[in-house]
Structure 1
């Protein structure tokens, strides 16, 4: 249902970015080993969160 509401979709994306950045600050090796592929999305979100 968050896909159809822009504000909810934006909230979900921001939560994903913040969560990935927090997980990377606790355990960097967990996200750094998956830089490519489907799990690379989480690494990219962590990089965006670090810059923000």
Structure 2
């Protein structure tokens, strides 16, 4: 089953994209800021902005997803 049809997997993919984009923007800020109007980089730049501005909520969501995955294996 792909992540598009499983809601929990879709949320996990979105959270991982936000976290990865935020980290990439932190490490290479010039590359993402320079190409933020490019149609390939723009979604990742927007995910990086979400990760920077809503970092407590993104962190909490990552913790909840990890806990739900951990508790689902018991």
Matched residue, 1:9:
10
TM-score, normalised with respect to structure 1: 0.91
| Unaligned segments of structure 2, at least 5 residues | 55-74
Structure 1: where are the runs of 5+ without partners?
none
Aligned residues: 52
**Equivalence for 1:51:** 53
TM-score, normalization by structure 2: 0.66
Root mean square deviation of aligned Cα: 0.9
What does residue 23 of structure 2 align with?
22
**Matches of 2:35 and 2:5, distance apart in 1:** 30
| RCO higher in structure (CA 8 A, sep ≥6) | 1
